[in-house]
Amino acid sequence: MFYKIYISFVVLIFTCVFATSNPDDDFDSVINKIASPLRDSPEISDIASTNLAILSSYNAFKEFLSSSQYFCSHNNYKPKGVTATSVHPVLEYMAFLVSLSSDTKIANILDHLIKTAGPFGFSERKANSAERVIYHIAMNAVAKTQGEPLKIENREAEKTSFDAIQTMHPDFCLDLPTSEERWNVYLDALQHSDFFKPSAAVKISFLNDVFLLGYLNGITPRYKDDQRLSSVWSYENNNLERVHDFIQWIFPNSAVGVDPTAPLLTPTSKGALERHLPLLQCIRKMVRNSFARMANFWGQQINSSVALVKTSDQWHENWLNHTHNNPRMNRILECLSFLGINLSLIACVRIYGLQQMKQIAQKYIHH
């Protein structure tokens, strides 16, 4: 009896020590530690005091990121040994401040950082594609809190690409939410303090969901090269067959693919989307548009019953003769399942009636 009590006591002590040593276990305390120096700082007009508060907050952020069991710095994220496009640590910190920027005071401090670089000073190096994405998000977050117009890019080119996809499927009504709507639901999610709340011990880049959800929503480009979702929509079918690094971006899943820099769908992504349903709804519409573009590549047209009807022998044969399209389909099914897009999933099953396709899809369709 004493032995059992002793063992139970040791287990309890170990559990308590582990829980208190893990900075992710109480995410609210993490947020408070990073945000408190900013909330307690004098008005922004006192530049010296503001910069000291920023440094204190930044150091708390670095401490959190270095000790987190869920997140790592984007610069330390090396899937398959490949280093993703680098992000200056201050920009990573600015991305975290976006999650606090519904607070007017923190939004003003973030604005100060964008315009002056605060205590850090501007680098002589020109911002790369990943850093430009974060700058754009941070500027629009500040604008939203301050009631200013958002900066919208790529509006006309995106509408042209979308209209072309709709023409491919005249009997099926697709939907392109306005740029303003998509930016607003994205920022509503990012500007909530729970956006970065971890959901499971999957070590991932801290910026994974920032890049992933902005790209899927069609409002930010790929962080590695500025290519946009609408650019893929406008690909010729030959390019969809020949190019292999786009599929991981428009239909992400949890597996590292041909492009190891592509963001992944993780339990933390799932948690963020479940907590922010308007963002999930917009992303579902955009992914459905991407699915419609791929359906045309397969030589299929979506009809009013959400069935895929063969329209082209050329691409039907292309599907059967190029086996790399089978892993693509598996990825697409996983992504559609993750996002709960059942109608497109069912349409996939109806493409050819192949037994292999039915077996693959069976495990993904939500009942």
Q: What is the pLDDT of residues 224-273, one digit of tens each?
A: 999 999 999 999 988 998 898 999 999 999 988 888 899 999 999 999 99
14 is a domain residue? no
Check whether residue 126 and residue 213 sit in a common domain. no
Check whether residue 130 and residue 184 sit in a common domain. no
Show which of 146, 180, 201 is a domain's final residue.
146
156 is a domain residue? no
Classified as helix, coil or strand, 308 is strand
Show which of 146, 175, 202 is a domain's final residue.
146
Two structure tokens written together for 129: 């594609």
Check whether residue 171 and residue 142 sit in a common domain. no
What is the percent of the chain where pLDDT is above 90? Answer: 61
16 is a domain residue? no
Check whether residue 189 and residue 64 sit in a common domain. no
221 is a domain residue? yes
Helix (H) or strand (E) holding 32: helix 27-39
pTM: predicted TM-score of the whole model, two decimal places: 0.88
Of 173 and 3, which is predicted with more confidence?
173
183 is a domain residue? yes
Distances (CA, A) of 133 to 150, 335, 348: 14, 23, 33
Check whether residue 196 and residue 329 sit in a common domain. yes
pLDDT for 45 beyond 50: yes
Helix axes 267-275, 208-216, angle to 10 degrees: 60
pLDDT at 199: 79
AA identity, residue 209: D
Burial 56-70 (b: 16+ CB within 10 A, else e): bbbebbeebbeebeb
Cβ atoms 37, 57 nearer than 8 A: yes
Least confident of 5-14, 132-141, 170-179, 328-337: 5-14
Show which of 112, 146, 180 is a domain's final residue.
146
Pairing of strands 71-72, 204-205: parallel
pLDDT at 81: 76
142 is a domain residue? yes
What is the percent of the chain where pLDDT is above 70? Answer: 83
pLDDT for 203 beyond 90: no
Check whether residue 245 and residue 96 sit in a common domain. no
**72 vs 268: CA distance, rounded Å:** 13
Q: Report which DSSP code applies to 75.
A: G
Pairing of strands 204-205, 308-310: unpaired
Cβ atoms 254, 264 nearer than 8 A: yes
66 is a domain residue? yes
pLDDT at 6: 41
Q: Domain containing 56: what range? A: 25-146
pLDDT at 299: 85
Check whether residue 259 and residue 179 sit in a common domain. yes
Cβ atoms 131, 87 nearer than 8 A: yes
Q: What is the pLDDT of residues 319-356, one digit of tens each?
A: 655 566 777 888 888 898 889 887 666 666 555 444 44
Write the DSSP string, 311-352. Answer: --HHHHHHHHH-TTHHHHHHHHHHHHHHHT-HHHHHHHHTTT
**235 vs 112: CA distance, rounded Å:** 40
Check whether residue 135 and residue 185 sit in a common domain. no
Check whether residue 142 and residue 171 sit in a common domain. no
In this prediction, residues 102-119 reach a mean pLDDT of 96
Check whether residue 255 and residue 324 sit in a common domain. yes
Check whether residue 142 and residue 189 sit in a common domain. no
Q: CA gyration radius for the chain?
A: 23
Of 315 and 236, which is predicted with more confidence?
236
Check whether residue 65 and residue 186 sit in a common domain. no
6 is a domain residue? no
How many folded domains does the chain comprise? 2
